[in-house]
Structure formats: structure tokens, C-alpha cells
Amino acid sequence: MSLIDEFLDHYSREFDYYAEVARIVQQKLETSLSSHGIRAMVTSRAKRPDRLRDKLSNRNRKKKYKTLTAIYKDIIDLAGVRVALYFPGDRDRVTGLISELFEEIRPKKSFPELKKPKPGKRFIGYVATHYLIRLKVDSPNDPENRYSATVVEIQVASVLMHAWSEVEHDLIYKPETGELSPDEFAILDEINGLALTGEIALERLQKAIQRRTAKDDIVFKDYFELASYLSQRALKLNIQSADIGKVDVLFEVLQHLRLDTPKRLDRYMNQIDKSDTTRPIADSVLDKILAAQPKNKVNSISSLISKFLSRSPFGPSDGGDTEAAIGFFLTQWIELETTIRRLAPSSERFRVLPVIHAVLKLNVPEKLSADIRRMSGLRNLLVHGIERPSAASLREAGATIRDSILPSIRALGKSGEPPIQ
């Protein structure tokens, strides 16, 4: 048995494993792209053994494989995921999500590597970004850990570019099709030009959607329209944060409070600290909305967010009464935020000072300040993050806020000294 045959026999037995790790990456990307309001089609696959044989035979002429390990190191796309973007302008946002979701094992690779057409062509060819990633290990007991050493290639391009690339690849690089004629190469080059023209049209379409979703009387019908509005409005307000962030929770809250129009949402966009580059825009807007709600609405909003997050793949992972745990923690956190802001001077309350900035001004012991920052981090992880805090950790944190942090903050308010300097 040749080394290539031995590898293919070995790989065939592992095919389901590679298909599963690709599916996991696909699912994580699909969920994250949707929650961030990015339109895309995400597909995954493990490389078919019959297709792999031809690739190995061609590469072996140069590589001269000596071991199975050498082949595994050389073939990096046994598990692959494709992200076909509706709008090419979302590429940079996808780059940020991939960095957050996965462990990147080498810098991204952008195509075309040459910024001018190859000899004999009028157009630049394949335009895309490729990533090599591994799944992040969140905890020793995570069932996905068995896949964490496996490399997955993610290819990000527009829907039009993926379609053209598939046609070109099957015709040029598959030996069963035969050698193409100069006329056929010219037609493929022409189709590439149409795909590139189509990308320009998609970019114009995205801008047209942004203009439509900025109109005062429109009602956002989904995450994507909300994300479009946030992007356009942030540009007009010169908000420096480049990250729109997750919009799914914000969208649910806006619908619940009937704030789901540009005219009603502008009030909260105008309150954002324009120089803050550390927080995504959707996070800041949600914080402003929650801070402005009367106490009698806090429980209903907490219940809404709890139900939504308990259904999310990125919600708490240990089952049980996760919805109740989320609701308990969020109710305590919002009460803590409200209490801290009540202690702020009127000028600070008018600005709706971010709670952690307010805490930094509080005349409190360092341990209390550290505990509040830790609770804030857990809250941000739950509402905006991609990791999965357990229901037990949320219940414990909620109890800490209720039994320790809140009484200490209230005691400061009753003391003779103003807590905020």
C-alpha cells in the first residue's frame, strides 16, 4: 500500500470527525453572524476522500511525502467552512468575530496576493480572506475539547465571488474536465469581471439599505435592519467605536419597549460617549436604555432577556433552571446599576454615566470596587459575550450583589460623606 493510500484509508475512518468539527465551527459562526446583524450563508464540509486523492497525487510530485504526519501538516483544509457574505463591506466585522470566537493559528491570508491581473487576464481573480483556526478550550469538561487540536480553514468572500470561484476551480483544477481552451479561459475571466462588478452593486445596495433604515418612521423588522441603522447613525455622530456588536438582545428589548424606530432610538445613540473605543455600540445603547427605565419595568425587561438568553447557544451550558438564574442575576445587577446612578450628582445622572466609570469615582474600599467590576464583567459576558457562564455562577453572583454589594453601596448613600468625588 502506498503512503497516499495509507493516508486515505486512515482519513476515511476519521471523515465523520472532521465533518463534525467543521459543523461546530459553522454553527458558531452562523449564530454569531446573525446576532451581530451580518447577512451571510455559512456552509461546512470535510474534504471528500475521492477529491483528496487527486490533490495529494499532485502535491506529492513536489513534496515527496515521507510520513503520514507530513501529509497531515501539508493538507490544512481537511475541515473547511465557507462564509458567503451578502455584502462585501462586512468583511472587517467578520474578521473581528473570528478573532473573538476562535484561536487563530496564523495571520489571515488575503486574496488576491497580487493587486493586478495575472498575465493574459483583465481582472484580478479571487477576492477573499482565509483563516486557519482552532476551537477555543473553555473548560476541561467541555465536550468540544476533543476537537480543539484540529485545524479548520474558514474562507470569507461575497456570495458572488464564492460562486465564481467554485466554477473556476472545478473547471481548471479538476483533471476529469480536460484542458480548457484559450476561449474558455477568456470567458472565465469575463465572468470574474461580472462578479467584481456585482460586488460593487452589493456595496451600493448596502448603502441604500442604510439610508432607508435611517428614516425616522421605519420600524426595524429584524437584527439586520437594526445593525444597518446603528452603523449609519454611528458614522453620522462620529462615534469612534468601530464595532457594532451583538444586536440580538438589543433588538428584543427595543421591540418590548416599543423603541424600535430610528426616531425613538436616536435619544440613546446621542448619549453614547463618542470617544469610547472599547465598547461595541449595541452594548452602549442597551446600557443607556436600561439605565433610563423606571424600577417597575426592570423585572419585565430582566425576564425578557432571561428567556432570550436561555434559548441562545451561547447561554449557560449546564441546563436546569438557567432562565431563572439569568433573571435573578440580571435583576440584581440592574438594581445595583440604578442604586449607583442615584448616588451620582445630577450632572452625572444627566449624562447617564457608565456604571463602571461611576464606580471608579466612588469613595469605596478597593475590594468592593473590585467585586463590582467582576460583576460587570460577568454581566457583559452573559449579555454580549460568546462564552457560557454557568447557571450556578450566575446564581452565586446574584446572591453576592443582593447580600453584600448592594447593602454596602446603600450604606455609602446614607453616610454623611458624598460617595462620588
Q: Give the tens place of pLDDT for each residue, 175-206.
A: 565 688 889 999 999 999 999 999 999 999 99
190 in a structural domain: no
Please give the backbone phi and psi of residue 410, each rounded to the nearest 5 degrees, phi first: -65, -35
Could you tell me if 125 and 96 lie in one domain? yes
For residue 222, what pLDDT band results from cuts at 50, 70 and 90? very high
Of 94-98, 202-206, 263-267, 339-343, minimum mean pLDDT range: 339-343
- Domain termination site, one of 238, 270, 292: 292
Tally the domains of the chain.
3
Whether 189 is in a domain gets the answer no
Residue with cell 482552532: 134
Is the per-residue pLDDT at 349 higher than 80?
no
**pLDDT tier at 344 (50, 70, 90 boundaries)?**
low
Question: Is there a single domain that holds both residue 272 and residue 299?
Answer: no
Do 255 and 358 lie in one domain? The reply is no
Please indicate, yes or no, if residue 43 is contained in any of the structural domains.
yes
Q: In terms of residue numbers, what domain contains 83?
A: 3-159
227 and 352 inside one domain: no
pLDDT at 384: 66
Q: What is the pLDDT of residue 369?
A: 83
State whether 361 and 339 are in the same domain: yes
Q: Are residues 256 and 342 in the same domain?
A: no
Query: Same domain, yes or no, for 298 and 350?
Result: yes
Confidence of residue 118 (pLDDT cuts 50, 70, 90): confident
Same-domain status, 100 and 25? yes
Question: Residue 198 domain-assigned?
Answer: no
Distances (CA, A) of 357 to 337, 344, 420: 11, 11, 11
What are the φ/ψ torsions at residue 136 (nearest 5 degrees)? -80, 145
391 and 282 within one domain: no
- The gap between the terminal CA atoms of the chain, to the nearest Å, is 78
Q: Per-residue b/e over 162-188, b at no fewer than 16 CB within 10 Å?
A: bebbeebeeeeeeeeeeeeeeeeeeeb
**CATH label of the domain that carries residue 58:** 3.30.460.10
pTM: 0.76
Burial class (CB in 10 A: 0-12, 13-18, 19+), 311: exposed
Q: Which amino acid is at 406?
A: L
Question: Comparing 297 with 67, which gets the higher pLDDT?
Answer: 67
Q: Model confidence over 68-106: pLDDT tens digits?
A: 999 998 998 899 999 999 999 999 899 989 998 999 999
For the chain, the average pLDDT equals 84
The reported pLDDT for the residue numbered 351 is: 43
* Band of residue 408 on the pLDDT scale cut at 50, 70, 90: confident
pLDDT on residue 350: 39
Q: How confident is the model at residue 419 (pLDDT cuts 50, 70, 90)?
A: very low
Count of all residues that appear for the chain in the document: 421
pLDDT, one tens digit per residue, over 120-134 is 788 999 999 999 999
Express each pLDDT in 380-404 by its tens digit.
777 766 566 788 888 899 999 999 9
| Alpha-carbon gap, residue 19 to 347, rounded angstroms | 57
Domain boundary among 159, 180, 203: 159
Cell numbers for 408, please give them.
Answer: 454596602
Domain boundary among 139, 159, 179: 159
